[in-house]
Structure 1
Amino acid sequence: MEFSVGDHVSWNSEAGRVSGRITKIHTADFDYKGHRRHASSHEPQYEIKSDKTEHIAAHKGSALHLVQDS
């Protein structure tokens, strides 16, 4: 599934289920927190801002689930 900036998504973390909004989509390799992350147009990585902590996370689309806002 492909996501868009502004989509509300959730994912599993060490702390349990986390949700947030996508703020950026990477379609080329990029540096994130001192590590090289691999991304392409076929397998983008998404930066997501956590709803609760405002922490920024980066994940592949396969780790994300769309949240239906009510």
Structure 2
Amino acid sequence: MSISKGTKVHWNTSQGKTTGRAVEKRTKPFQHDGQKFNASEDEPYWIVESEKSGASAAHKESSLEQA
């Protein structure tokens, strides 16, 4: 799977499947919305933006699927 900036993706949430766009790839530990994430080259995270709400969140690349 090859995700790049702007790729349409979906991921699972407690409310069901959410669709949005990949905004930024992170490969070093970072904070987003007050939470710490341990991103690395081997386990990158993406900042994604929900299509429905416009909210942003951080998700492991492995939890995202191209929509």
TM-score (norm 1): 0.88
For the residues of structure 2 that align with 1:49 and 1:35, how far apart are their CA atoms? 16
Unaligned 5+ segments in structure 2 are none
Provide the secondary structure at the position in 1 that maps to 2:62. helix
Provide the secondary structure at the position in 1 that maps to 2:22. strand
* Kept in 2: contact 1:23–1:47 (CA 8 A): yes
Deviating 4+ runs (over 3 angstroms): none
* Kept in 1: contact 2:45–2:61 (CA 8 A): yes
Once superposed, what is the RMSD of the aligned Cα atoms? 1.0
Q: Report what 2:24 is aligned to.
A: 24
**Letter of the 2:34 counterpart:** G
Provide the secondary structure at the position in 2 that maps to 1:62. helix
Deviation at 1:14, TM superposition (A): 1.0
Provide the secondary structure at the position in 2 that maps to 1:25. strand
Q: Report what 2:44 is aligned to.
A: 44
Q: Report what 1:65 is aligned to.
A: 65
**Letter of the 1:48 counterpart:** V
1:34-58 CA-to-partner distances (Å, cap 9, x unmatched) read 1210101121100111001001011
Deviation at 1:21, TM superposition (A): 0.3
Unaligned 5+ segments in structure 1 are none
Provide the secondary structure at the position in 2 that maps to 1:53. coil
